[in-house]
Each structure stands twice: as structure tokens, then as C-alpha cells.
């Protein structure tokens, strides 16, 4: 299964609560935090909610 490398590039300060919750659920706490997650629909949905705050790369 593919994996996604998610990097937080912008702050969650001043964003809606659901966007801050998505960042925390992804495991991102501060700018430049990086997490590697399985490519699943739930993870894709959280990334979609905060796609303007993160960058995403596929890794093997």
C-alpha cells in the first residue's frame, strides 16, 4: 500500500476548528513537522480539509 509524507508548511493559528483538529489528527503540531501515513480514504479526507496548510508527497 502506498504511503503519504505530509509536511505542515503553514500555521493552524486563526483557522477553523475542524482544520486545527485535522492537523492534530494527522499528528502535525508545528510548522515543518513531517508524518508518514498510509494512503487511506480517511487520511485523504483530513489532508483535503487542510490542503492549503500542508504539502503531500507519495513515498514507497
pLDDT at residue 3 is higher than 90: yes
**Mean pLDDT across the stretch 11-18?**
97
Contacts of 49 (CB under 8 A, 6+ apart): 18, 19, 22
Q: CA triplet 46, 51, 25: central angle to 5 degrees?
A: 30
The model's pTM: 0.91
pLDDT at residue 1 is higher than 90: no
Tell me how crowded residue 57 is: count the other CB atoms within 10 A of its CB.
Answer: 11
**Mean pLDDT across the stretch 26-54?**
97
Q: Domains of the chain by range and CATH?
A: 3-59 (3.30.1390.20)
- Specify the pLDDT at position 60: 84
Tell me how crowded residue 13 is: count the other CB atoms within 10 A of its CB.
Answer: 6
Cα radius of gyration rounded to whole Å, the chain: 11
Percent of the chain having pLDDT more than 90? 97
Angle of helix 41-49 relative to helix 17-26, nearest 10 degrees, comes to 130
Amino acid at each position: 500500500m502506498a504511503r503519504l509524507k505530509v509536511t505542515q508548511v503553514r500555521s493552524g493559528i486563526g483557522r477553523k476548528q475542524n482544520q486545527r483538529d485535522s492537523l492534530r489528527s494527522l499528528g502535525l503540531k508545528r510548522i515543518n513537522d513531517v508524518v508518514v501515513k498510509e494512503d487511506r480514504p480517511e487520511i485523504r479526507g483530513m489532508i483535503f480539509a487542510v490542503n492549503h496548510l500542508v504539502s503531500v508527497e507519495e513515498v514507497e
